[in-house]
Amino acid sequence: MSGTTFNLAAARRILHELTPRTAVLIGSMTDLGISIPGSEWTVGEAAAHLALGAELYAQYAHGIERPASIDRADLAGSRRRKQAERMTRGARQLGADLQLGIDSFLTATEGRVAEDLLPWHQGTLPCITMTGLLIGEQLLHGYDIAQAINVEWPIGDQPARLTVQAVLPVLPALVDSEATKSINATYELAIDGGPRVIVRFPDGTASVDPAAGTAIDCQLSGDPVAWLLALYGRVSWEQLLHTGRVRVTSGDTALGKAFKQLLRNP
């Protein structure tokens, strides 16, 4: 991955500084049943998801490969039940639970290097990637909650960039196999200020590699916050192209317009 490189110290600092802000946002909610625009979730479900996710990542960071809280035979049902149960604790405790989970994760990963592998679901992920994903969870679900309760939720370029860096290697798992089955295209994704990667879509699959003089069919550029909101499906791809926050800077314009259709949201 070219452009800016992963910086675990910066990611840890951002996660440490972001979490109290997210916890305050969650604790300020007076009605956990408010629906999130464009989502099936309520603000309470989003907050419970954040708290449970922080606890899960902390367990992984402590070396627990199969946390007892996960029923692998019924993942979706298990998560819904856990969210509903956690919501009964109320907004303030949900915020506190998020803070405790993140503190535990940061303690467990103190002294780790960026590429140290940690358990993650049924595989492993580098420590820097898990840290970036935790930042992204708070940025995006914080954004959702803020939209629903009509408060501001600014997202800075550096936190957004770290999240995008974390999610780019996971893109092959997000391929929409139906949408890509007849596609054979090579894109360069150039996030303003880095990173830059090559994403290939051959016959229903995808691969992500460093940008290094490879022949491409389409280059897409844009600011890191726009890429964050696009990859996670919070703002429509068409809107970002129309406003110029994401741009087709070279190659096939039609491929540029179709890019986000090839991927499911994380």
Domain stop point among 130, 154, 178: 154
Domain limits for position 84: 8-154
Residue 97 and residue 93: Cα distance in Å, rounded?
6
What CATH number corresponds to the domain at position 240? 3.30.1050.10
**Inside any domain, residue 163:** no
Type of residue found at 200:
R
Same domain, 184 and 255: yes
The per-residue pLDDT for 71 is 61
pLDDT tens digits along 15-27: 999 999 999 999 9
% the chain with pLDDT above 90:
83
228 found inside a domain: yes
Q: How many folded domains does the chain comprise?
A: 2
| 111 and 234 together in one domain | no
Q: What confidence tens digit (pLDDT) does each residue in 185-221 have?
A: 999 999 999 999 999 999 899 999 998 888 999 999 9
Q: Which of 154, 184, 211 is the last residue of a domain?
A: 154
117 and 58, same domain (yes or no): yes
Which residues of the chain are under the pLDDT cut of 50?
3
pLDDT of res. 66: 72
Looking at the fold, whether 18 and 130 belong to one and the same domain comes out as: yes
Which domain CATH number covers 148? 1.20.120.450
pLDDT (0 to 100) of residue 134: 98
Q: Would you say residue 159 lies in a domain?
A: no
- Mean pLDDT estimate for the chain: 93
